[in-house]
């Protein structure tokens, strides 16, 4: 039952927001009493914490699967973006913003875990891209990784990129293209344009 509650809570938090969803909402969606939920989770904070951990694990599994295919580095970045956006983004609400505002300690903890996972993934991606001649040979991979992570989090900032003015999917695509163009060789730019043209067609 605990895992069933976690799965439903995670789904609802992503679709409706961490603040918006109440324990009553989750109990109603599962057809159980609120007492049943509290028998597994002492309070909402604990449920949010474990739900974010479950979401993080699912993100890691998906990204590790994509990286395991060892596509060219540019295609890999687009595949990761597609996976994350399709499964863990919502055009209408900002779960990340609600988590940061109402559960700051949990948000910071997840941000640290996210950075650790992203750092390993992007550094590997950069090194393979350099080896394949897609990325500039003199890149400082540690610096680029941190800039990429900072940018990914920056475009989620509701104050800088308000949802009424910027669609999440287009914003993520624009940022990814910006990142790739900044670090690519001529060969890399050609590969990027090929991927963009294929998606448009």
- β-bridge partners, 184: 135
pTM above 0.75, yes or no: yes
| pLDDT of 57 | 94
CATH fold of the domain at 48-200: Tetracycline Repressor; domain 2 (1.10.357)
What is the model's pLDDT at position 140? 97
Cα distance between residue 61 and residue 165, in whole Å: 32
Predicted pLDDT at 93: 56
Question: 26 with 8: CB under 8 angstroms?
Answer: yes
Query: Residue 30: CB partners within 8 Å, gap ≥ 6?
Result: 4, 5, 8, 36, 37
| Domain-wise residue ranges, the chain | 48-200
CA dist 20 and 95 (Å) reads 9
- Spell 52-73 as b/e; 16+ CB within 10 A means b: bbebbeebeebbeebbeeeeeb
pLDDT, one tens digit per residue, over 81-102 is 999 888 877 655 578 888 989 9
SS3 of residue 30 by DSSP: helix
Summarised one tens digit per residue, pLDDT across range 29-72 is 999 999 999 999 999 999 999 999 999 999 999 999 998 888 89
Q: Residue 140 burial (CB < 10 Å; 0-12/13-18/19+)?
A: exposed
Give the Å distances, CA to CA, from 156 to 33, 116, 167, 169.
Answer: 35, 19, 11, 11
Q: Higher-confidence residue: 86 or 76?
A: 76
* Predicted confidence band of residue 103 (pLDDT cuts 50, 70, 90): very high
The pLDDT assigned to 91 comes to 55
Q: What average pLDDT does range 167-179 have in this prediction?
A: 93
pLDDT digits (tens, 9 = 90+) for 118-157: 999 999 999 999 999 999 999 999 999 999 999 998 998 8
Higher pLDDT, 102 or 200: 102
What residue has token string 């344009």? 193
């Amino acid at each position: 039952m605990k895992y069933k509650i976690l799965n439903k809570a995670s789904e609802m938090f992503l679709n409706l927001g961490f603040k918006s969803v109440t324990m009553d909402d989750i109990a109603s969606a599962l057809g159980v009493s609120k007492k049943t939920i509290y028998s597994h989770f002492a309070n909402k904070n604990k449920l949010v914490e474990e739900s974010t951990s479950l979401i993080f694990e699912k993100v890691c599994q998906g990204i590790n699967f994509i990286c395991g295919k060892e596509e060219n580095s540019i295609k890999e970045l687009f595949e990761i973006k597609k996976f994350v956006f399709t499964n863990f983004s919502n055009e209408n609400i900002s779960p990340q913003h609600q988590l940061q505002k109402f559960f700051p300690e949990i948000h910071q903890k997840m941000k640290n875990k996210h950075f650790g996972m992203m750092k390993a993934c992007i550094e590997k991606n950069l090194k393979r891209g350099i080896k394949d001649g897609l990325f500039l040979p003199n890149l400082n991979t540690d610096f680029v990784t941190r800039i990429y992570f900072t940018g990914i989090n920056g475009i989620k900032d509701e104050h800088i990129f308000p949802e009424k003015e910027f669609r999440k999917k287009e914003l993520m695509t624009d940022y990814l293209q910006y990142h790739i163009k900044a670090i690519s060789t001529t060969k890399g730019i050609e590969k990027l344009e090929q991927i963009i043209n294929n998606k448009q067609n």
